[in-house]
């Protein structure tokens, strides 16, 4: 049986249940609907909200290093804490939070396989009690540029014909809609995808119970069928970099790809940029250069 | 009888002065209080297009008017307590009160509840869509539709 490349980053609900009061472990819930945490969370778990806690509220960016340090201190996380993320929607936001923790160099991050759904299916208890934790001590590193792609790099990557993954729904990829089915349009002016990007909608990584697909199934999808190469640089994107955090996690930790970046600007940036190439329709298209000599990225 | 706006102002007032955690707890209380979909609406759900397509999670709304009295009936998926709580607040403000009041309901409900800071910008768009949908639904009904 093939195994995940880095099996240590996935923990089971059993493991979490056994470590609820372990002072070396902090359980963190990250949800699409943050009232879910209020309604009921894993006993002792703290909440980190993607929109309010992890995003800079003025510029479109993540919180800066000092704010990340403050967040960790408040949530009882120190540099040597084992941080286990879980959440709703197949751990989509849990992977987003995991990625931000890796961006600032946190060493021991894990995902509880299956998230809220698996915890619920296992019949385990929820708590709506307020959680207070002892303050942590934290010194974050500079942002790790090896996991984050900004737009100029994506443009170069695209022109060079390197591996690009679009993890949005097929309708978004083809340019028929500019937002997820049933989600509001958050303001992309153009629809379609980055030329050369292959469409692998993010739910293909997960089973119905919220757990990740088996190593064999993931290997079949990305390596055998799509012929993606583990050593080649890969960039994943979606709408605002949330769904692609999950795919980034799968490629990096479950399949052992060596060089994967998340383009967090994603379609909400690309679909609004002036003179960047866009392909509509089901075909990936090639790494065609835009008509103009130099794209005006700062227009 | 107090107007929809007056009742809504009272409900919004319950959020005043609460911290983020307390606001979410109050929202969850409202969510838990939203009654299940009445059986006659469960049957209609299968044949009528009542889904709010702008909203992230399955939300079904009916804007009913009987002898001038408004009734907002809703079903919201349990995985979306924020939306559920918000819809429950609207239903409590609207139900049994004059449908003609609803067009004049202020559009700054989320700001006055202080939910924009608690939920972030992107999340509040779906809630704004619900307010718009409810107002339009009752406007259609009271215009003789």
DSSP-assigned states of every residue in A133-192: -------PPPP-GGGB--HHHHHHHHHTT-EEEE-S-HHHHHTS-SS-TTS-----SS-S
Q: Does residue B14 carry a pLDDT above 60? A: yes
Please state, in angstroms and rounded to a whole number, the distance separating the CA atoms of residues A180 and A203.
13
DSSP structure class, residue A107: S
Contact B31 A35 (CB under 8 A): yes
Distance from CA of B18 to the nearest CA of A (A): 15
Mutation site, A31, A39, A93, interface B, largest B CB count within 10 A: A39
Domain match, A186 and A138 both: no
Average pLDDT, chain A: 93
Q: In terms of CA atoms, which chain B residue is nearest residue A51?
A: B120
The ipTM value here is 0.90
pLDDT confidence of residue B58: 86
Q: Does residue B113 carry a pLDDT above 50? A: yes
Q: Does residue A290 carry a pLDDT above 50? A: no
Domain that holds residue B68: 4-142
Residues of A marked active site are found at 238
Domain match, A156 and A138 both: no
Beta carbons within 8 Å of A297's beta carbon, 6+ residues apart: A151, A152, A155, A273, A274, A275, A276
- For chain B, the residues whose C-beta falls within 8 A of a C-beta of chain A are 20-21, 24-25, 27-28, 31-32, 53-58, 79-83, 85, 117-123, 125-126, 129
Residue pLDDT, tens place only, A106-136: 999 999 999 999 999 999 999 999 999 999 9
> Which residues of chain A are within 8 Å of residue B54 when distances are taken between CB atoms?
184
Domain match, A184 and A78 both: no
pLDDT confidence of residue B124: 83
Please report the number of interchain residue pairs, chain A to chain B, with beta-carbon separation below 8 angstroms.
61
Which of A154, A156, A191, A151 is closest to A174 using CA atoms?
A: A191
Residue pLDDT, tens place only, A65-79: 999 999 999 999 999
Contact B56 A55 (CB under 8 A): no
Residue pLDDT, tens place only, A84-113: 999 999 999 999 999 999 999 999 999 999
The domain that holds B92 is classified in CATH as 3.90.1010.10
Domain match, A252 and A150 both: yes
Instruction: Give a yes or no: residue A289 inside a domain.
Output: no
Distance from CA of A219 to the nearest CA of B (A): 31
Domain count across chain A: 2
Average pLDDT, chain B: 90
Of A35, A51, A55, the CB nearest to B85: A35
- The percent of residues in chain A predicted with pLDDT above 90, rounded, is 87
Distance from CA of A173 to the nearest CA of B (A): 19
Phi-psi map region of A288: left, alpha, beta (phi>0 left; psi -120 to 50 alpha): beta
Q: pLDDT-derived band of residue A139, with 50, 70 and 90 as boundaries?
A: very high
pLDDT confidence of residue B145: 46
> Which residues of chain B are within 8 Å of residue A130 when distances are taken between CB atoms?
21
Q: Say how many Å lie between the first and final Cα of chain A, rounded.
A: 52
pLDDT confidence of residue B107: 83
Distance from CA of A241 to the nearest CA of B (A): 14
Residue pLDDT, tens place only, A11-51: 999 999 999 999 999 999 999 999 999 999 999 999 999 99
Which of A55, A26, A50 is closest to A243 using CA atoms?
A: A50
Q: pLDDT-derived band of residue A289, with 50, 70 and 90 as boundaries?
A: very low
Domain match, A15 and A69 both: yes
Q: In terms of CA atoms, which chain B residue is nearest residue A183?
A: B56
Contact A35 B117 (CB under 8 A): no
Domain match, A106 and A197 both: no
Distance from CA of B143 to the nearest CA of A (A): 28
Please state, in angstroms and rounded to a whole number, the distance separating the CA atoms of residues A167 and A240.
11
Domain match, A54 and A114 both: yes
Q: Helix B81-94 to helix B121-142 angle, to the nearest 10 degrees?
A: 30
Contact A52 B24 (CB under 8 A): no
> Which residues of chain A are within 8 Å of residue B53 when distances are taken between CB atoms?
182
Domain match, A116 and A176 both: no
Instruction: Give a yes or no: residue A94 inside a domain.
Output: yes
Q: Does residue A186 carry a pLDDT above 70? A: no
Domain that holds residue A206: 146-270
Residue pLDDT, tens place only, B48-66: 888 887 666 789 999 999 9
Domain match, A111 and A193 both: no
The domain that holds A29 is classified in CATH as 3.40.250.10
pLDDT confidence of residue B144: 57
Query: In terms of pTM, does the model score above 0.90?
Result: yes
Burial class, B24, CB count within 10 angstroms (exposed 0-12 / middle 13-18 / buried 19+): buried
Q: Does residue A183 carry a pLDDT above 60? A: no
- The percent of residues in chain B predicted with pLDDT above 70, rounded, is 97
Contact A52 B119 (CB under 8 A): yes
């Amino acid at each position: 049986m093939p195994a995940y490349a880095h099996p240590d980053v996935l923990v089971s609900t059993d493991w979490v249940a056994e470590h609820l009061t372990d002072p070396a472990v902090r359980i963190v819930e990250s949800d699409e609907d943050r009232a879910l945490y209020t309604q009921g969370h894993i006993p002792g778990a703290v909440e980190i909200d993607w929109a309010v806690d992890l995003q800079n509220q003025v510029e479109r960016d993540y919180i800066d290093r000092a704010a990340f340090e403050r967040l960790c201190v408040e949530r009882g996380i120190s540099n040597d804490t084992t941080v286990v993320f879980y959440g709703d929607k197949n751990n989509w936001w849990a992977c987003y939070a995991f990625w931000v923790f890796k961006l600032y160099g946190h060493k021991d991050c894990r995902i509880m396989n299956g998230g809220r759904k698996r915890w619920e299916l296992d019949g385990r208890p929820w708590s709506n009690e307020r959680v207070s934790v002892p303050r942590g001590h934290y010194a974050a590193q500079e942002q790790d540029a090896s996991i984050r792609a900004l737009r100029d790099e994506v443009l170069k990557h695209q022109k060079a014909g390197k591996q690009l993954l679009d993890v949005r729904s097929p309708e978004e990829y083809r340019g028929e809609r500019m937002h997820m089915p049933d989600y509001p349009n958050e303001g992309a002016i153009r629809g379609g995808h980055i030329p050369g990007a292959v469409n692998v909608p993010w739910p293909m990584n997960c089973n119905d119970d919220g757990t990740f697909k088996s190593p064999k199934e993931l290997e079949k999808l990305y390596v055998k069928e799509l012929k993606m190469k583990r050593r080649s640089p890969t960039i994943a994107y979606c709408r605002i970099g949330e769904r692609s955090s999950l795919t980034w996690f799968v490629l990096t930790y479950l399949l052992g790809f060596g060089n994967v970046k998340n383009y967090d600007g994603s379609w909400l940036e690309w679909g609004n940029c002036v003179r960047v190439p866009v392909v509509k329709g089901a075909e990936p298209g090639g790494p065609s250069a835009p008509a103009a000599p130099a794209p005006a990225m700062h227009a | 009888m107090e107007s929809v706006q007056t009742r809504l102002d009272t409900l919004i007032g319950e959020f005043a002065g609460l911290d983020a955690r307390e606001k979410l707890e109050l929202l969850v209380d409202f969510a838990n209080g939203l009654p299940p979909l009445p059986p006659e609406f469960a049957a209609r759900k299968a044949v009528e297009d009542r889904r709010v397509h702008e909203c992230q999670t399955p939300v079904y709304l009916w804007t009913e008017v009987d002898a001038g009295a408004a009734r907002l009936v809703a079903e919201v998926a349990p995985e979306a307590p924020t939306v559920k709580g918000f819809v429950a607040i609207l239903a409590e403000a609207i139900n049994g009160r004059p449908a003609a009041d609803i067009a004049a309901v202020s559009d700054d409900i989320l700001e006055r509840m202080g939910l924009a800071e608690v939920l972030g910008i992107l999340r509040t768009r779906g809630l704004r869509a619900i307010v718009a949908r409810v107002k339009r639904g009752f406007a259609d009904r009271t215009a003789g539709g």
